[in-house]
């Protein structure tokens, strides 16, 4: 696959790797860096050696994407539900407590390890640690994810997320009552300077947009539906805290709740256009038992 871009005025002065990360949101930074180091990226027909090469307005950027690296992450028998599967994609219902892909702190026992055990093929665009992974859910967030089985499907799904034609809806129980029964939160989010484990709302960073609607008020909590316009790390959790009502059980942005392993946040619905048939597909799953049981303990008003 070959792609050609021209540097616009607003992109002048950007690093080459940052520019390509915007153009290819489905690729990891390490994959982009690897493209540059292997001289598969040219700027005005020349091959820059550094990912930090600074761009100038009007420059032509050619990108050649060859076959992705071979997947070698170990397959493991991990328990999760496959909701749907065909030749292009898999829709899974990720349980709470399951990390999506291997990382520095979690080398095995992830959703990816389970996918390699149960699914014949996965796209390799994101490399050996994240095969098929188009988007993620936090470890303690449960619910629906779509996984790509080939690179064509991966690129299509990633572009839909970027274009906001892939819709993701969540249910969460918040501590206290939101003042407005529905609305939109639009802020900048980036890494918290005081705690690197957290993200936070700041004056600059990446734009984050979340729509919300209260479904039911309880005596001390409220059940809220969230839909994402963007997909930033911890976005719903950060925006819930920003609204002054963190998600119940969120140890990082709220407080730990006895009897809960993590936040009551569930991706209950996902809708996207199938990469091959161009038909819109929508999937829904109910909330997990622990979420349902906690809701039953809430006193209605």
Domain CATH number, residue 253: 3.30.2350.10
* pLDDT of res. 21: 85
Query: With contact defined as beta carbons under 8 Å apart, do 234 and 251 qualify?
Result: no
Same domain, yes or no: 247 and 194? yes
* pLDDT of res. 272: 98
**Domain edge (last residue) among 64, 80, 104:** 64
Same domain, yes or no: 78 and 106? yes
Identify whether 53 is part of a domain.
yes
pLDDT digits (tens, 9 = 90+) for 119-169: 978 887 766 667 889 999 999 999 999 999 998 999 899 889 888 899 999
Q: What is the span of the domain harbouring residue 189?
A: 169-267+291-296
Same domain, yes or no: 195 and 211? yes
Same domain, yes or no: 224 and 236? yes
* pLDDT of res. 119: 92
* Helix residue spans in 164-288 (DSSP H): 235-242
What's the number of domains the chain is made of? Answer: 3
DSSP annotation of 295 reads H
* pLDDT of res. 143: 98
Tell me the CATH number at 7: 3.10.290.10
Identify whether 221 is part of a domain.
yes
Same domain, yes or no: 184 and 250? yes
pLDDT digits (tens, 9 = 90+) for 201-231: 999 999 999 999 999 999 999 999 999 999 8
**Mean pLDDT (whole number) for 5-20:** 92
Q: List, by residue number, the catalytic residues.
A: 138
**Mean pLDDT (whole number) for 17-26:** 84
**Domain edge (last residue) among 11, 39, 64:** 64
Sign of CA dihedral 146, 151, 157, 158: positive
Res. 15: pLDDT tops 90: yes
Rounded-to-integer distance, Cα 83 and Cα 217, Å: 31
* pLDDT of res. 66: 67
Identify whether 12 is part of a domain.
yes
Identify whether 276 is part of a domain.
no
- How long, in residues, is the chain? 301
| Residue 254 token pair | 């709220």
Is the pTM of the predicted complex or chain greater than 0.85? no
Identify whether 281 is part of a domain.
no
Rounded-to-integer distance, Cα 37 and Cα 56, Å: 20
pLDDT digits (tens, 9 = 90+) for 228-252: 999 899 999 999 999 999 999 999 9
**Domain edge (last residue) among 64, 89, 109:** 64
Identify whether 275 is part of a domain.
no
Residues 6+ apart with CB under 8 A from 167: 227, 269, 270, 271, 272
Res. 29: pLDDT tops 80: no
**Mean pLDDT (whole number) for 253-267:** 97
Identify whether 56 is part of a domain.
yes
Rounded-to-integer distance, Cα 100 and Cα 111, Å: 5
Sign of CA dihedral 137, 141, 142, 144: negative
Q: E strands within 121-195?
A: 142-148, 167-175, 182-191
Burial 182-218 (b: 16+ CB within 10 A, else e): eeebebebbeeeeeeebbbbeeeeeebbbebebeebb
Q: What percent of the chain has pLDDT over 90?
A: 73
Give me the helix-helix angle, 16-23 and 29-37, nearest 10°. Answer: 120
């Amino acid at each position: 696959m070959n792609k050609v871009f021209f540097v616009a005025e607003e992109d002048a002065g950007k690093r080459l790797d940052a520019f390509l990360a915007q153009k290819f949101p489905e690729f990891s930074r390490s994959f982009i860096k690897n493209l540059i180091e292997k001289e598969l990226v040219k700027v005005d027909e020349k091959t820059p050696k550094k990912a930090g090469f600074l761009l100038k307005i009007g420059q032509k950027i050619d990108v050649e994407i060859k076959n992705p690296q071979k997947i070698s992450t170990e397959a493991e028998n991990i328990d999760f539900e496959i909701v749907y599967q065909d030749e292009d994609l898999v829709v899974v219902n990720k349980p709470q407590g399951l990390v999506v892909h291997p990382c520095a702190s979690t080398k095995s026992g992830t959703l990816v390890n389970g996918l390699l055990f149960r699914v014949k093929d996965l796209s390799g665009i994101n490399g050996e640690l994240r095969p098929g992974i188009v988007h993620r859910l936090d470890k303690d967030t449960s619910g629906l994810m779509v996984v790509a089985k080939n690179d064509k499907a991966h690129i299509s799904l990633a572009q839909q997320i970027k274009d906001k034609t892939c819709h993701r809806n969540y249910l969460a129980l918040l501590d206290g009552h939101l003042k407005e029964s529905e609305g939109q939160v639009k802020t900048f989010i980036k890494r918290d300077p005081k705690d690197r484990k957290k993200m936070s709302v700041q004056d600059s960073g990446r734009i984050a947009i979340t729509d919300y609607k209260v479904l039911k008020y309880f005596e001390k909590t409220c059940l809220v539906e969230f839909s994402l316009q963007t997909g930033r790390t911890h976005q719903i959790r950060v925006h819930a805290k920003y609204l002054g009502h963190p998600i119940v059980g969120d140890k990082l942005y709220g407080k730990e709740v006895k009897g809960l392993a993590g936040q009551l946040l569930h991706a209950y619905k996902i809708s996207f256009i199938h990469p091959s048939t161009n038909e819109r597909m929508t999937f829904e799953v109910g909330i997990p038992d622990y979420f349902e049981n906690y809701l039953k303990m809430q006193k209605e008003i």
